[in-house]
Amino acid sequence: MLNNKIIENIRVNFENELKSVDKLQLLEDLRIKYLSRNGQISALFEQLKDVSKEEKPLIGKSLNDLRNVAANLFSDLKAKLETTDTNKLPKIDLTLPGNKYAIGSKHILTQTLDEIKSIFKGLGFSVNEGPELESDYNNFGALNFAPDHPARDMQDTFFISKDFLLRTHTSPVQIRVMENNKPPVRVIMPGRVYRNEAVSSRSYCMFHQVEGLYVDTDVTFTELKGTLVSFAKQFYGSDLKYRFRPSFFPFTEPSAEMDITCYICKGKGCKICKHSGWLEILGCGMVDPNVFGFVDYDPEKVSGYAFGMGIERTAMLKYGITDIRAFFENDFRFLKQF
């Protein structure tokens, strides 16, 4: 039966629990426990109907006093805690600069290759790729390499077996393209290549190339020069000087190498250009008629040109990078510069 002793116990319990409350969430839990519609104090009012008529006024007054006291204590502590929590909030200085977050970006070699592909696409070239594991026939034989050519030696090539190897250039893709397409063909071929070379600041055992091929009727060396000069001026700048030097490649005849003025000394001569004032950027030439014979093209009806450049060397020339190994060391201090 409800009596003053029960009411007093509820009051004492409420006040004792209130003393340990130091957070608004704990205070809310206490309100639900005692002052909510289903709380302990409301439950006592439900029991008031069972109290005798003589005791009901006195018990009712005690219940009202309990509810008022509990509500006042709750309100006072809530106001205090709200002030304290507000003071604990960190002050924000809106004049300070925001935090910088690291954002990923493309590797400098990927950026360089994307720019090269974009330029040649604008010149009408499509893009084709081929496997890195190639046959000796596609990598050497069909490209007019003699059986005793030095490039076939184990010192230059990673042979997997007698007939298969890691390709030493992307030129085998030219053979694959011509075997599967009739002229006209205008395509560039980017990809990784492998050579058994000592690693140094200027050479690496794996690097990237992009080669180009154009075959049609009446293709001339003048068209080759015009294409490469247009590329070089778009990529390196319109004010560069250039020259073509005679050279030799087994799969082109005549062959040439293209040089541009040194980006460091502007043609005056420095150790980067070996004091010549010129830097080689690519090799090129007219496709040798013997190569057409391997892909069933009639050299009497078609002609074409081919060219190739190393992506690492191209990036080094454009951005003034002096060590090819920096591209593969994953040093964030180097990569974030680009």
What is the Cα 1 distance to its own chain's centre?
A: 76
Rounded Cα–Cα distance for residues 255 and 287 (Å):
9
Tokens 């974030």 belong to residue: 336
Beta bridge partners of 212: 188, 307
Residues 6+ apart with CB under 8 A from 266: none
Rounded Cα–Cα distance for residues 212 and 103 (Å):
34
pLDDT of residue 154: 58
Domain(s) labelled CATH 3.30.930.10 in the chain stretch across 108-335
pLDDT of residue 90: 64
* Fold of the CATH domain 108-335: BirA Bifunctional Protein; domain 2 (3.30.930)
Residue 254: asked if its preceding bond is cis (omega within 30°), the reply is yes
- If DSSP codes are grouped into helix, strand and coil, which group holds residue 229? helix
pTM metric for this prediction:
0.67
Q: What is the pLDDT along the chain (338 residues), one digit of tens a residue?
A: 778 788 888 888 888 888 888 888 888 888 888 888 888 888 887 887 877 888 888 888 888 888 888 888 888 888 888 877 555 556 777 788 888 887 778 899 999 999 999 999 999 999 999 999 999 999 999 998 888 777 667 558 899 998 999 999 999 999 999 999 999 999 999 999 999 888 888 788 999 999 999 999 999 999 999 999 999 999 988 888 899 999 999 899 999 999 988 777 777 877 767 788 888 889 999 999 999 999 999 999 999 999 999 999 888 888 888 888 999 888 888 888 88
Rounded Cα–Cα distance for residues 26 and 10 (Å):
18
The radius of gyration of the chain from alpha carbons, rounded to an integer in Å, stands at 41
Residue 328 host element (H or E): none
Residues 6+ apart with CB under 8 A from 32: 39
Rounded Cα–Cα distance for residues 319 and 156 (Å):
28
